[in-house]
Structure 1
């Protein structure tokens, strides 16, 4: 009888353990009567005993490696509690790093090494230590940490590694310009007052020698960050050290007496309970008491208070901080004192929330020789305009291009000058595209709006190359559209009697085994994430996505997709939208993705049915009218009632080629419409700005 303490695993986890696809595991379960019975979950998302699965895989010669990381993680996850699992992972990393003075092995562990952990957690820490010896300590810890973050992705926001590296580079570049007079004392102190699991400090560890210090009010995150930094590789002779504390930086900062060369921070957004009442008279609010609704400005002033003279801070903030009326007085003070050096708008998708253009604020603490007030310019860079998204799905920025853009923007900062807080904007450099140097006096109005896009217009030389590229693509599309149109116009559509051939329905084809039909499901509340899918994640296509631009805007983790019973569509499957206002059918060509409600996946038997023929036949408008449940625009289409002509497979393939041409024609028309609309907008902007050459 299965123990009540058995470690549960899902079909997706079994697939990872065995190194096969999920479909293979489903086939094993269906074909082998000896496959273990489920011990929990549901019929749609069953769970099995890890021990029984391991035994079955071994007995059936399907076990590749029963001692790897994939086998270890389900046991950690089975601890149940987010905190206990996190503390156990952190303890394993701490002991593997030798942060206590010596690297431990499983046999060396005593109760004093793992205070506060259950017996089950202690055993798992021992297993992790043994695994780390064979597969690499840092690699094992990073794997466990990544899995822990994946499980808790909806509760914990992290700074993506490329963004962490970009923020570090930006801080060091700005600081290097501020140190041009030669007062660098060698080792850097880098602080992150809201460090989470240590992504920013980990990126800063490449700077050697350095002292890395961080703080987080969540003890689990602080423990994980401490273990992560302790496991970082230390080059021979490197003097990099780290210290992480679990505390609330705003209310009880353990580093109140520390002054850092660089502060990197991705603070929590929109938190009203940040200490407004008890911190009303705090000395850090040199630029004004932050309103209750402006916690981000409290973090900005905290970062400034922890900088030593000449130090640089880079803070990731939501765009509303640059424009909200409640914070205009503090923004104005930061400008007047010359502490705020630059505001850079990032393209959407750089970090959560992925749908908005987050801002990087660059601040610099004055030195003894700086004047009391600044009278210079603020550097504004609009990365959102410089790297526009082609579609809502295009949510992953080109980090190399973005890094080059940031460096070119920082290049506009000239050598130190006493006029504006230690650095001046170079008048000898031509500002890059989407970068502007705005006089501070022009920003000190009633709103003090620091949004880069409000103050930057395309340069006179920028529109030409962009329009030239658009016109070049426009010409290619017109040529392709003409070729496709000629092929379609040449089709002989005369009635030769084939239109009277018998028809069948999708439901009948499914019963005959010519195809399988699966319906999409509504995921559980809170399981859909924004942006590009993380490792193993599945894009989620919904009807609203089809009505917007046809691209998925969210994604699900494999576990959430399995729990929701989501229909997973593979390349070559036919997708049907079963609602009248978005009715369509097409052959899926991209990566596997999950389908939401009122979307259906049809997988054909290739010896009986051609996928393109099926999709083209179903999407006929007359077909949707006949299969609709009622006449309104919100009616549903009964996919099982959609009609398909009964013709031999060879004739299906003949029609298939024509349907492919129709699909290509539709794609070209859609893209041409989008590009043409963009050309109209760009041309209107250029002409309105008076850029028409006199020679025209």
Structure 2
């Protein structure tokens, strides 16, 4: 009797399976002699027998509830050639997403032969438009992975299933210098394409599209024609599927190939271009492309690949068409590129340079730049200034709401009246072209803006601002002292309390709470419950964003921050909000919605728990849901870490005792909020006074005199 061999899994697979970090898996291997021995792989990258790993995790109580996504991962691991299979399953996701719910739910229950017949006919329809899947074949042994995929689509949605396939494709990808553009950054880049009157370009090209995040942002903003190219087949295929899932009405064209060496859109002129060029790639074709007609501003030196991408993007624009590129900061100052930078400035092709805070995108330790370019109109006079914005100066903690406000307010004001644009001291300035065309042609915003801002300082205004900030600091310090009085926090017994707990999945099934999040219409929540229909159409009402929960501030999101074509729940008073994405260096944050915030839209990347107040206290729920050990145990993913809400655990306590804990958690929340406000006020006042003193606008107050 033939017995199917168990799959082999890596340490990364084990971390996803157990919902822990890879470091935890490494600790298990070192500290537990009974941890399964490697069954394959290499000394540096061993693999383990999946059944043995499951048995070990189960014996230690570390094996979470098996989910459709987990079962899909296992099915891919068990199937030989899983990387190729993951690619060939992408058209199946798209085909299943186009069905109504009843048809989707029936597919996994089909017999193998009927399931394979459906897949072969349905997937062939769209495979021609998905790179790398034209010759996809579905052998009989693919039936189980197909069934696992379809169950994942039914339960978690098409995008979640695509994410699982992307995990496998990422492991098989050998590309370098390609990174995901975070959604907030993609949205900001798309908004920089909008004209001052609000019109958005119809056609948008991304010549290094990756998995399509920039084109998806353009589609959300209003683009109706999307063109993408990527050198990696797996990335281009994901882009094609994701765009069709998110923008089904748009005309979409995605191709593979190296855009610089083998341009799939030769001759195309688009209204706009968005691009996050490959980072640090030096073998970009310098020798082969020395006489290329795209180099209208000079042949890019071998060590300046980004300036090749700049000119490639400009060549694909209509006159007055705009491009936004994410660039390493060194491109603004390297000696080798100064001649091309000078020509871009002289001809009016470079319209703005924006410096971003560290952490905005990979590499996270570098403050990247945005370059806004425009193909010059031969019949128009070249602009006399370039806008420089230093969004990193006052946004060191990467507050996306603040970054958006800094960049877009400066850009829109500049577009509205370039001649009389006065800028913002220390943040934005319209630099005359003649000032930029010096020997270095250094376009780094921080260096140029400081020189320009010093001339615009008004001593009396600065002194008044300093006084107002001092008042804010005193009030913040008073609030912090009031909340910092010694409380009665008695110790437990000799050992910490040990209580019975229930998972969120258990509480959902028992009706003690409901779980909401922003999801495409018809998609089911991870609990398996139907997602409620929107209670109102998107409009002027604000949205609570993940940044609002992190910073504990009122709803600051607008309609532009909300995805289109999705269910948008409205929050109610006493709802509990938990951030879904774990930020670098931080754990998840939770808080309770205040009555004045009721009626706001629930923004992306937030989980909303609506408790039955007769059974669960909201602040008790918020405190335990956001507990660091709880969140770590429920975290999934590696490059993008999410909280799986079903795995979170809550103690089973009487309501009266919950309310005691809830009052304590609320007090801690208020203390943290007061400390942040006082810290921000101190930072603001010291920065302003330091600027005023060093630039000669303020005099010392005499406290330090002898």
Counterpart selection for 1:377 from 358, 361, 385: 385
Matches within 5 A, 1:248-259: 248-259=258-269
Q: 1:442: Cα distance to partner? A: 0.4
Give the equivalent residue in structure 2 for 1:141.
161
Give the equivalent residue in structure 1 for 2:558.
none
Q: 1:225: Cα distance to partner? A: 1.1
Preserved contact between residue 171 and residue 312 of structure 1 (Cα < 8 Å): yes
Preserved contact between residue 211 and residue 239 of structure 2 (Cα < 8 Å): yes
Give the equivalent residue in structure 1 for 2:240.
226
Which whole-Å deviations, capped at 9, do the CAs of 1:464-485 have from their partners, x for residues lacking one?
647854785489769989999x
**Alpha-carbon distance in structure 2 between the residues aligned to 1:264 and 1:223:** 18
Q: 1:224: Cα distance to partner? A: 1.5
Counterpart selection for 1:157 from 135, 156, 179: 179
**Alpha-carbon distance in structure 2 between the residues aligned to 1:25 and 1:441:** 58
Q: Which moved more, 1:425-434 or 1:52-61?
A: 52-61
Given the superposition, is the C-alpha separation of residues 379 and 536 from structure 1 closer, same or farther in structure 2, using an over 3 Å criterion?
closer
Given the superposition, is the C-alpha separation of residues 58 and 260 from structure 1 closer, same or farther in structure 2, using an over 3 Å criterion?
same
Q: 1:451: Cα distance to partner? A: 0.4
Give the equivalent residue in structure 2 for 1:643.
none
Structure 1's unaligned 5+ residue stretches are 30-34, 180-185, 390-396, 416-423, 488-512, 515-531, 542-587, 594-663
**Alpha-carbon distance in structure 2 between the residues aligned to 1:128 and 1:473:** 57
SS of the equivalent of 1:411 reads: helix
Preserved contact between residue 153 and residue 161 of structure 2 (Cα < 8 Å): no
**Alpha-carbon distance in structure 2 between the residues aligned to 1:84 and 1:463:** 65
Counterpart selection for 1:685 from 681, 684, 691: 691
SS of the equivalent of 1:257 reads: coil
**Alpha-carbon distance in structure 1 between the residues aligned to 2:695 and 2:205:** 45
Matches within 5 A, 1:333-412: 333-367=343-377, 369-371=379-381, 374-389=382-397, 397-412=398-413
Larger Rg: 1
Query: What TM-score, normalized by structure 1, do the two folds share?
Result: 0.59
Preserved contact between residue 197 and residue 222 of structure 1 (Cα < 8 Å): yes
Preserved contact between residue 462 and residue 692 of structure 2 (Cα < 8 Å): no
Given the superposition, is the C-alpha separation of residues 209 and 483 from structure 1 closer, same or farther in structure 2, using an over 3 Å criterion?
closer
Matched, 1:169 2:179: no
Q: 1:160: Cα distance to partner? A: 0.6
SS of the equivalent of 2:76 reads: helix
CA RMSD of aligned residues (A): 5.4
**Alpha-carbon distance in structure 1 between the residues aligned to 2:17 and 2:630:** 26
Q: Which moved more, 1:344-353 or 1:61-70?
A: 61-70
Query: What TM-score, normalized by structure 2, do the two folds share?
Result: 0.58
Give the equivalent residue in structure 1 for 2:443.
450
Give the equivalent residue in structure 1 for 2:660.
none
Preserved contact between residue 94 and residue 226 of structure 1 (Cα < 8 Å): no
**Alpha-carbon distance in structure 1 between the residues aligned to 2:92 and 2:335:** 47
Which whole-Å deviations, capped at 9, do the CAs of 1:108-131 have from their partners, x for residues lacking one?
234995636685984465225532
SS of the equivalent of 1:274 reads: coil
**Alpha-carbon distance in structure 2 between the residues aligned to 1:193 and 1:23:** 36
**Alpha-carbon distance in structure 2 between the residues aligned to 1:207 and 1:249:** 25
Matches within 5 A, 1:209-358: 210-234=224-248, 238=249, 240-358=250-368
Which whole-Å deviations, capped at 9, do the CAs of 1:561-612 have from their partners, x for residues lacking one?
xxxxxxxxxxxxxxxxxxxxxxxxxxx999769xxxxxxxxxxxxxxxxxxx
Preserved contact between residue 341 and residue 441 of structure 2 (Cα < 8 Å): yes
Give the equivalent residue in structure 1 for 2:69.
69
Give the equivalent residue in structure 2 for 1:438.
431
SS of the equivalent of 1:309 reads: strand
Given the superposition, is the C-alpha separation of residues 216 and 128 from structure 1 closer, same or farther in structure 2, using an over 3 Å criterion?
farther
Given the superposition, is the C-alpha separation of residues 680 and 309 from structure 1 closer, same or farther in structure 2, using an over 3 Å criterion?
closer
Q: 1:684: Cα distance to partner? A: 4.4
Give the equivalent residue in structure 1 for 2:208.
194
**Alpha-carbon distance in structure 2 between the residues aligned to 1:326 and 1:300:** 15
Preserved contact between residue 204 and residue 227 of structure 2 (Cα < 8 Å): yes
Structure 2's unaligned 5+ residue stretches are 108-114, 125-132, 487-494, 497-549, 551-578, 588-627, 634-670
Give the equivalent residue in structure 1 for 2:220.
206
Give the equivalent residue in structure 1 for 2:592.
none
Given the superposition, is the C-alpha separation of residues 334 and 81 from structure 1 closer, same or farther in structure 2, using an over 3 Å criterion?
farther
Q: 1:254: Cα distance to partner? A: 1.0
Preserved contact between residue 9 and residue 49 of structure 1 (Cα < 8 Å): yes
SS of the equivalent of 2:151 reads: helix
**Alpha-carbon distance in structure 2 between the residues aligned to 1:73 and 1:307:** 42
Given the superposition, is the C-alpha separation of residues 44 and 71 from structure 1 closer, same or farther in structure 2, using an over 3 Å criterion?
farther
Q: 1:310: Cα distance to partner? A: 1.9
**Alpha-carbon distance in structure 2 between the residues aligned to 1:126 and 1:212:** 29
**Alpha-carbon distance in structure 2 between the residues aligned to 1:388 and 1:125:** 45
Give the equivalent residue in structure 2 for 1:425.
418
Q: Which moved more, 1:465-474 or 1:270-279?
A: 465-474
Given the superposition, is the C-alpha separation of residues 473 and 409 from structure 1 closer, same or farther in structure 2, using an over 3 Å criterion?
same
